[in-house]
Structure 1
């Protein structure tokens, strides 16, 4: 079995030879495949096959749609049925990894913002944790997951300039979601849960990421 990183690198190199229309279609198809529970290795193998078919079509002077048909979504659904599904362990680890990355980013941003307003306390590695930070971080995790799923499931519609309904729905939902998160963060900024030494959570987050990464490779 080839290494996943090697296949991904080869696919990225091969994509440079694709016509822009074919590249757009394949990108939409791969994004749609990622909305399923297919394992990453199978997705990259399917991506490799799609690139190969597109390059062969280009060489013959044909349209890619002549090879796989016009209904790209149905073609992807057939691919999904033929692939291997992620294990429950992989799904949980992927969710934990994504959540840990978001928490880590938000926590570092919180440290930076607090350092700008209270540099003396920040130099002592002390920082208050507010309900605004906790709830806005949780909302970002949930909203981020929902947005990624929406983009993946509607990849063909969102890339279609004529499909204004899906694009407008996504745009409105995106703006409203982050306005709500911003309001939660602002109005609950003074509700302090407690004060902590922020070095400990940073170490815990770093160790958590390393552990998740190592478990994902098994």
Structure 2
């Protein structure tokens, strides 16, 4: 077991001792830290320090607000100033790992759905035997790229706003964001459907699945390399 996994497992055990406001604030802080420009190892290292501090405060009966102050985000930012940030090479490796992971998942789903659909038509209508070649259209390509980009920005948005101050206007902003989200997804889906006949190329099913497996494996290797000490 490497150092990151060991630290993560120990932190998870300590986290179970928190409850109430301690648990809620810790969850938001960890979410915020995961969106920061630091490696997963340093996220777990900072998390360990925070857990120790929270558990000690819990034993003393001290309130979270009293322990940290009113601005949780400022508190986390002050900690992050003293933590080594990722190098440019680490950031590129992380981005490539995320892209490959998204590519593997989306393409894998596309290949499986396409093949299962052909098999069902063959079984129900007794038509010609389904081909093991899966077409990839312009709509599919746009769909893959759009969902990947959206996923990256959406996760970053969740992390960055985890400790945002609650304001009366935040409810309206959340509703607008929710509507924009659905509008974006609807536009991407329509684009996929309207451009499905513009086939760019076809790929053999088993070759495609091999590419999916290779993408997921490479993504995992890049993620491990990024977090090596």
TM-score (norm. length: structure 2):
0.85
Could you list the runs of 5+ residues in structure 1 that have no partner in the other structure?
none
1: CA distance, partners of 2:85 / 2:133: 45
Tell me if structure 2 keeps the 8 A contact 1:100–1:209: yes
Out of 158, 167, 183, the position equivalent to 2:190 is 183
C-alpha distance in 1, partners of 2:172/2:48? Answer: 32
User: 5+ unaligned residues in a row in structure 2: which ranges?
Assistant: 123-127
Shift of 1:24: 1.2
Cα gap change, 1:94 to 1:131, in 2 (>3 Å)? same
Query: What secondary structure is seen at the aligned counterpart in 2 of 1:84?
Result: coil
Hey, what does 2:208 align to over in structure 1?
Answer: 201
> Residues 28 and 162 of structure 2 are in contact (CA less than 8 Å); yes or no, is this contact kept in structure 1?
yes
How much has 1:101 moved relative to structure 2?
1.6
| Mapping of residues 56-67 of structure 1, within 5 Å | 56-67=56-67
> Which residue in 2 is equivalent to 1:140?
147
- Residues 77, 146 of structure 1: CA spacing in aligned structure 2 closer, same or farther, 3 A cutoff? same
Q: Name the structure 2 match of 1:78.
A: 78
* Secondary structure at the counterpart of residue 36 of structure 2: coil
Higher relative contact order by CA 8 Å / sep ≥ 6: 1 or 2? 2
Deviation string 1:35-88 (CA, Å, 9 cap, x unpaired) is 221121111111111111111111111112222212100011111111011122
- Whole-Å Cα distance in 2 between the matches of residues 13 and 38 of structure 1? 23
Relative distance call for 1:23 and 1:178 in structure 2 (3 A) is same
In 2, the alpha carbon distance for the partners of 1:13 and 1:177 equals 39
For the pair 1:3 / 2:3, whether they are aligned, the reply is yes
2:114 is the counterpart of 1:114: yes
4+ residue runs of structure 1 moved beyond 6 angstroms? Answer: none
1:26 to 2:33 alignment: no
The TM-score with structure 1 as length reference comes to 0.89
Question: Radius of gyration: which is bigger?
Answer: 2
Contact 1:114 1:122 (8 Å CA) reproduced: no
Does the Cα contact within 8 Å between 1:130 and 1:194 map onto a contact in 2? Answer: yes
Task: Give the alignment partner of residue 174 of structure 2, picking from 148, 167, 175.
Answer: 167
Stretch of structure 1 that moved more, 120-129 or 77-86 = 120-129
Give SS of 1:193's match.
Answer: strand
Q: Is the 8 A contact 1:53 1:64 kept in 2?
A: no
Higher deviation after alignment, 75-84 or 114-123: 114-123
Q: Is the 8 A contact 1:128 1:195 kept in 2?
A: yes
